[in-house]
Structure 1
Amino acid sequence: MKICFTTNNAHKLQEVKEILGDSIELLSLSDIGFEGDIPETHETLEENSLEKAQYIFQKYRIPVFSDDSGLEVVALNGKPGVHTAHYAGSRDAVANMSKVLSELEGQTNNREARFRAVITYIDLEGKEQQFEGIVDGQIAPEMSGAEGFGYDPIFIPLGYEKTFAELSSEVKNTISHRKRALEKLVQFLKSTT
């Protein structure tokens, strides 16, 4: 089965390919000839995920899935949330992490956080389904590790003492929010084919 994943983010694409294995032939946006940006104009992960999937489906009429994910920090009232990628004003991961760390300065007790992913799948007939994945954890006191991308160097998943960026991709991909949402998508696809 061929499905387009609405991204050209090489890190995300590789992570999803590793998680899915050979069960699905994954097409990127460049594989289908799409260039440019997909709109993300909403204030929730659910709405942005749906908007991205609908945008590509309406242009290409192929099975498609998109994800929108965010880091939600309890002490910051759920921020950065839907604004995770541009929290410090641009797509600069170090600046984004630095902003979160500075906003948590002095917070030693409440550093709880979670990564949340929402995947929207649209099949060939245009039917839409959404799947959510969550991984709980906490914000580290400082950036640590070189693996992964985004906020991985400051997020310590529950049950671990290392950040996502200190864990191997094999370990991260067994517990990540994206993995949990993708598992639900794969189960859904298996039940409908």
Structure 2
Amino acid sequence: MAKGLKSLGDILLGIVSFGLSYWFYRGHLEQYVHYIAHYGFYFQVLLNIVIIVLLSYVIYAFLKLLLTRKLKKQTLLLLYLIYFIALFYLLFLKNIGLQGLSLNPLSFARELYWGSHFVPIMNLLMFIPLGLLFPSRLSNLLLCLIALFSIESIQYFGHMGIFDLGDIVLNMLGILIGNAIHQLPQFQTLIKKILT
């Protein structure tokens, strides 16, 4: 009986997660898909479905964590796998054929000033989970900086985007925020408590 109720609860949580994902996607993300989908109508439809499904899983895992105060290590690994796949797509596949150069380290300020908040905010937020993975030692931060310069260089020389110093600044800031959270004793305690 208890197992049946647990399964029913999981199904209901899945439905709620899908509903929240669909609502969030339609209300906040759909208008920005044109930034990351340049391969035709069918690709865009498939990308919409993939984003909604992956977002549903992320919301499901988060709601499950809130309800149970526990998170399976496999779930965390799967969440990071989704994160790295999304990061790879956003860094190397969304702008194939595009090449540009911006050596202004504050290029994002212009975007923010003119009301284009999505791309600069995402450039910051999408690197916070990476910063959560390791402590902020000088050697780690130096490796991150070299990696960010390498990524931007690959984008430029491979015609996969714009080499933008402003992106490097925001990405590095995201990593530093993640590192700062990682260093907090409360974060370490929380991780030990929730991981099963």
Settle same-fold status: TM greater than 0.5.
no
TM-score, normalization: structure 2? 0.26
More strand by share: 1
Greater Rg by CA: 2
More helix by share: 2
